[in-house]
Amino acid sequence: MKLTRLDKLRLRLEAQNACLGWAFEEIAGKPGLVFELGLGHGRTYDHLRTHLPERDIYVFDREIDCYEDCTPPRDRMLLGNIDETLQAAAERFPKAAALVHSDMGSYTEAHNSAMSALLSRALPAVLAPGAIVVSDLPLAMTGATALPLPTGAQEGRYFLYRAGV
Ligand SMILES: C[S@@+](CC[C@H](N)C(=O)[O-])C[C@H]1O[C@@H](n2cnc3c(N)ncnc32)[C@H](O)[C@@H]1O
């Protein structure tokens, strides 16, 4: 039977949750910032701040449209188009992110392929050596290696990368 949209959403959320849980353990004890690309309603930001209470988390989006109790502190929100805010972050925090969670996809293929290309180009400048990138879109970042997904995540539903050292 073909997968319904509900099936695909469930697989995506299971993979997102499993990959983030894996990444939290992977960066434990390693210094570095956490970047959340795509505040959206704030669901994964809430997950990050809950599981990584000691980390400095910077959140990127072009708007603030989240649950009120998931609004990031103003000085941790980089508001604007992601190509500009990532470039500003690369100047302010060069090679400083230990973990990037990127949740920038939408329902349109044109948006997703353009976003994949933009992120693949821009992210390496902010990644610390060995940083982990957890992404809803496939990326092709210079110097980074694609990783297999952890138990509980079906391949192709989310994407994991490790930056070169
Ligand atoms: C899938 S939602 C993020 C969901 C969020 N992580 C959550 O768990 O609630 C994607 C977000 O990316 C943002 N976005 C899409 N294209 C963008 C762009 N070019 N620049 C900045 N933000 C963008 C949208 O505004 C949207 O909030």
Cβ of 69 less than 6 Å from ligand 1: no
Mean pLDDT of the chain: 98
Query: With bands split at pLDDT 50, 70 and 90, how would you rate the model's confidence at 115?
Result: very high
Query: With bands split at pLDDT 50, 70 and 90, how would you rate the model's confidence at 6?
Result: very high
Which domains, ranges and CATH numbers included, belong to the chain? 16-162 (3.40.50.150)
Residue nearest to atom 5 of ligand 1 (CA): 40
Cβ of 20 less than 6 Å from ligand 1: no
Cβ of 12 less than 6 Å from ligand 1: no
Write down the pLDDT at residue 138.
Answer: 98
Q: Is 36 helix (H, G, I), strand (E, B) or coil?
A: strand
Cβ of 72 less than 6 Å from ligand 1: no
Instruction: Sheet containing 145-147: give its strands across.
Output: 77-79, 57-61, 33-37, 97-102, 127-135, 159-162, 145-147
Instruction: Name the phi and psi angles at 50, rounded to 5.
Output: -75, -40
How long a stretch of residues is the chain?
165
CA 1 / ligand 1 centre spacing (Å): 31
Q: The whole model's pTM is what?
A: 0.98
Query: With bands split at pLDDT 50, 70 and 90, how would you rate the model's confidence at 40?
Result: very high
Query: With bands split at pLDDT 50, 70 and 90, how would you rate the model's confidence at 122?
Result: very high
- What is the pLDDT averaged over residues 45-49? 98
Give tens-digit pLDDT for 86-109.
Answer: 999 999 999 999 999 999 999 999
Query: With bands split at pLDDT 50, 70 and 90, how would you rate the model's confidence at 147?
Result: very high
